[in-house]
Structures are given as structure tokens and as C-alpha cells.
Amino acid sequence: MKAKKSNPIKLFLYISLWVIIWGTLGSLIDFPLYKNKVYLEGSIYQYLTFTVTGIISIISAKFFYKKIDL
């Protein structure tokens, strides 16, 4: 059985794409919460928002990595 060999450039681009998705998603969630004064900038809740979106992004990236052929 042959092991799956990934192209390092494609893998780097895939990870970079998910970092961009994470940052965008986190910012889209964070912006209205911050503007409506649900929490202050730099508060634990802002860190929690980005941490949760980061975890969701990691899980999604692993799920889609299995589905596509890099």
C-alpha cells in the first residue's frame, strides 16, 4: 500500500488559506460584539472568540483535508 505523499507547496497554501479563513471568520464575529460594547477590546471574551473560531477552523481544515487530494 502506497503512502499518500503531499506536495509541500500545496500543503503550505492550504494551511495559509485556513489561517485567512480563521482570521476573517473571527473578525466577522468579533466586530459586531465589539461595536455593540458586548465586550472591550483585549478582554478575555475577545480572546475566547478567536480561540473558538480557531478550534472550529482546525476541525474544518482536518475534515476537508481528508476529502481533497493534495
In the chain, where the domains are located: 15-67
Name the helix (H) or strand (E) containing 4.
none
pLDDT in tens, 6-48: 788 999 999 999 999 999 999 999 999 999 999 998 999 999 9
- Average pLDDT over every residue of 58-69: 91
Which is more confidently placed, 4 or 45? 45
- Average pLDDT over every residue of 39-66: 94
- Average pLDDT over every residue of 63-68: 91
Q: What is the pLDDT of residue 59?
A: 96
Q: What is the pLDDT of residue 7?
A: 86
Burial of 53 (0-12, 13-18, 19+ CB in 10 A): buried
